[in-house]
Amino acid sequence: MKSNSNYPFFKNGILLLFILIFSNISMAQTKVEQIEKLINTYEEYGKFNGSVLVSEQGKVIYKKGFGMANMEWDLPNQPNTKHRLGSITKQFTAMLILQLVAEGKIDLQEPITKYLPDYPKATGDIITTHHLLTHTSGIPNYTSFPNFMKDKSRNPYTPEEFVKTFDEKELDFTPGEQFSYSNSGYFLLGVIIEKLSGKTYEQMLQDKIFSPLNMDDSGYDHHSDILKNRATGYEKQGGDYVNSRYLDMSIPYAAGSLYSTVEDLYKWDQALYTTTLLSKEYMTLYFKPYIPAFGNAHYAYGWGVGYSKIGASTDSIYTIEHGGGINGFNTNISRTTSNKSLIVLLNNTGGAPLNDITKAIRGIIHGKEYDMPKKSVADAVLTVIQEEGIDAGISHYNTIKDSEDYSLSEREMNTIGYQLMGEDKVEEASKVFQIIIEEFPKSSNAYDSFGESLMKLGKNDLAIKNYRKSVELNPNNQSGIEFLKELGDDVSDLEKDIKVSDAILETYLGKYELQPGFILTVTKEGNQLKAQATGQPIFDVFPKSENEFYLKVVDAQLVFNKNDADEVVSVTLFQGGGEMIGKLLEK
């Protein structure tokens, strides 16, 4: 499969997090000292490079820059450094839409063809602005299109031209039926704003939000502009950095085109406690949880809302937050309204573990235990491979993989494997992928990556074996099936439909406890088995054998387990190289 780098760039990627060791924090340390030590350690381990701001009870208690805004000129990040925001843009787009609603120019429940008469009526007549705001329109996400980065991302488009790249595509589902993150929907919201206001999206932002709030260091990012204090975006490549790929900023548009600073985002946060931009009635609509989205969150208008963990404790607190990722940058803003706290992290080296950092800072604010970062096994191994060769790298891997000072990530190991392939070190990459399989034997992606390296080495029989294993673990791995066809393998057995009797499906229905308070509910509509985890959308699951099922929306599998009396007693969830067993609570 492909490298897991975040090039489809606006969605804050949802990963399985590994539990880290608790830090031994002296209570004598102040909150500021603890935050300082935390971020310094992340910077030391190459896991954060950017700007930070933390406020509590509405007052800034910490703000600082870490690492370099521009590595070529040794220019440091500061609190006033301008970073691209990625999907944090969406909350500003949603605010403009609600301002138009308040002015009587938009009805959120009217079909979008009322405002965009040229949009195809077959889909536009059943999609509303509310659907666009909540990612429930079913419009395919353009950043997920095949070869999107290669074919589209470098070219300038007008908004109307770019809409034509996705408006004729078949919907992924009936509008309003489920949540599916779509930059296409927020792109369309920008077009609606321009149509109804008679101004550009950029000018509306300036007139309706940035100028009223004195957000003088925020705006629509244009590559051609001379912009003081702008951070350069970088991507990590092993122990080094490279300049991120060029992206024409007409592409992210209303889904991810803005830049700002941590200081300006503090102004934004403070304004959201007032009626400066919207009346109380519409502010309530703005933050209302509408639909289960990722993790334990629901999606509001441009925000994820729900309960988030406080440090390493079992406690949680209601938060309003959103992340972003765009070439060379990843970002996060998290608001806790009960104590008017704010955490803003803007990183310009891409892929930083901002959710982990945010959770730890939240722990510091509330006086709870929190996790300190660990060194990356993948980074350390790649450095040794590049300096001393693959055998030395594998030896070093075996030395550190179980160390309490290091964390092992399938995603990071997969990334270095693809980096080695990009450097024409395919034999070395193949050995890295083989390590991943040994550590994560239930990961479809691990076998897919290994299969790709074997195919490049001309070891077709072994490539077929591993691609087949990948498809066995995830029957929805269509690219794996296509590679098998390319290798001349007969895939008729992989493409046939598997039927499970209704009577057997009935035995799987019930509630399974994967973790305390985290329940997987299995239901059935007709012959279609469905699964829904606490706080998440309901998904169809498909059989690959009588007791093994898979999801098409994510790389995950369910195996129903029976006791000696042939009674279903639990389910095992395989996802991201890990597994969780859920005991059957009730039928």
- 231/263 Cα distance (integer angstroms): 15
Strand partners, 326: 329
* pLDDT attached to residue 15: 29
CA–CA separation, 500 and 129 (whole Å): 40
Q: How many residues does the chain have?
A: 587
Q: Among 137, 181, 122, 190, which Cα is nearest to 162's?
A: 190
Three-class DSSP category at 123: helix
Distance CA 433, CA 417 (A): 6
- Residue 245's identity, in one-letter code, is R
Predicted pLDDT of residue 6: 33
The pLDDT assigned to 408 comes to: 92
Q: Would you call 532 helix, strand, or coil by DSSP? A: strand
Taking the C-alpha atoms of 86, 89, 91 and 95 in order, what is their torsion angle to the nearest 10 degrees?
A: -170
Least confident segment among 65-79, 108-122, 392-406, 462-476: 462-476
Mean pLDDT value of segment 116-139: 97
Q: At what angle do helices 444-456 and 460-473 cross, to 10 degrees?
A: 160
Spatial distance between the Cα atoms of 134 and 38, rounded to a whole number of angstroms: 34
**What is the rounded distance in angstroms from the CA atom of residue 500 to the CA atom of residue 568?**
15
- Number of neighbouring beta carbons within 10 Å of residue 449: 30
With bands split at pLDDT 50, 70 and 90, how would you rate the model's confidence at 553? low
Per-residue CA distances from 579 to 71, 102, 511 (Å): 40, 48, 18
**Residue 189 structure tokens:** 């919201």
CATH number belonging to domain 394-495? 1.25.40.10
Query: What pLDDT was estimated at residue 152?
Result: 82
- Comparing CA positions, the residue from 443, 472, 439, 476 lying closest to residue 554 is 476
Report yes or no: 244 and 328 within 8 Å, Cβ to Cβ.
Answer: yes
Highest mean pLDDT among 15-19, 281-285, 290-294, 509-513: 281-285
Please check the confidence at residue 2 and state whether its pLDDT lies above 80: no
Tens of pLDDT, residues 559-584: 999 998 889 999 998 876 667 899 99
pLDDT digits (tens, 9 = 90+) for 324-342: 999 999 999 999 999 999 9
What does the pLDDT look like over 32-88, one tens digit per residue? Answer: 999 999 999 999 999 999 999 999 999 999 999 999 999 999 999 999 999 999 999
C-alpha–C-alpha distance, residues 82 and 264, integer Å = 10
Round to whole Å and give the CA distance between 312 and 314: 7
Task: Quick: pLDDT tens for 424-456.
Answer: 999 999 999 999 999 999 899 999 999 999 999
Please report the pLDDT score of residue 268 as a whole number.
98
DSSP element (H, E) containing 336: strand 329-336
pLDDT per position as a tens digit, 178-199: 888 999 999 999 999 999 999 9
Return phi, psi of residue 483, to 5°: -65, -35
DSSP β-ladder status, 406-407 and 375-376: parallel
As a whole number of angstroms, the distance between CA 414 and CA 377 comes to 12
pLDDT tens per residue across span 353-364: 999 999 999 999
- CA angle at 473 for the pair 471 and 475, rounded to the nearest 5°: 45
Class of domain 31-365: alpha beta
**Closest of 295, 253, 302 to residue 135, by C-alpha:** 302
Q: Class assignment of domain 502-586?
A: mainly beta
pLDDT(20) > 50: no
Contact 417, 432 (CB under 8 A): yes
Dist. CA 197–CA 175, nearest whole Å: 26
Closest by CA to 187, choosing from 282, 99, 117, 89, is 89
The mean per-residue pLDDT over the stretch 204-219 comes to 98
Mean pLDDT score, 201-226: 97
pLDDT at residue 13 in the model: 34
3-state secondary structure of 256: helix
Cα gap 51→28, rounded to integer Å = 26
**Which residues are bridge partners to 321 per DSSP?**
304, 334
Q: Centre a 10 Å sphere on the Cβ of residue 370 and count the other Cβ atoms it contains.
A: 26
Q: Which of 274, 270, 244, 359 is nearest to 310 (CA)?
A: 359
What's the token pair of residue 556?
Answer: 């995950």
Helix and strand numbers, DSSP H then E, in the chain: 21, 25
What pairing do the DSSP bridges indicate for beta strands 234-237 and 291-292? Answer: unpaired
Return the biggest CA–CA distance within the chain: 72
Which residues lie closer than 8 Å to 202 by C-beta, 6 or more apart? 219, 220
pLDDT for 522: 93
Phi/psi at 42 (5° precision): -60, -40
How many of the other CB atoms lie within 10 Å of CB of 204? 23
CA atoms within 13 A on the CB side of 441: 1
pLDDT digits (tens, 9 = 90+) for 274-310: 999 999 999 999 999 999 886 678 999 999 999 999 9
pLDDT at residue 409 greater than cutoff 80 = yes
pLDDT at position 297, please? Answer: 83
Phi first, then psi: give them for residue 579, nearest 5 degrees.
-145, 150
**Segments making up each domain of the chain, as ranges:** 31-365, 394-495, 502-586
Average of per-residue pLDDT values in the chain: 90
Q: Sign (positive/negative) of CA torsion 363, 348, 307, 509? A: negative
If DSSP codes are grouped into helix, strand and coil, which group holds residue 356?
Answer: helix
Task: Please check the confidence at residue 374 and state whether its pLDDT lies above 80.
Answer: yes
pLDDT at 473: 87
- Dist CA 509 CA 584 (whole Å): 9
Given a cut of 90, whether residue 498 has pLDDT beyond it is: no
Q: What is the pLDDT of residue 477?
A: 77
Reading the block at residue 48, the tokens are: 């954060």
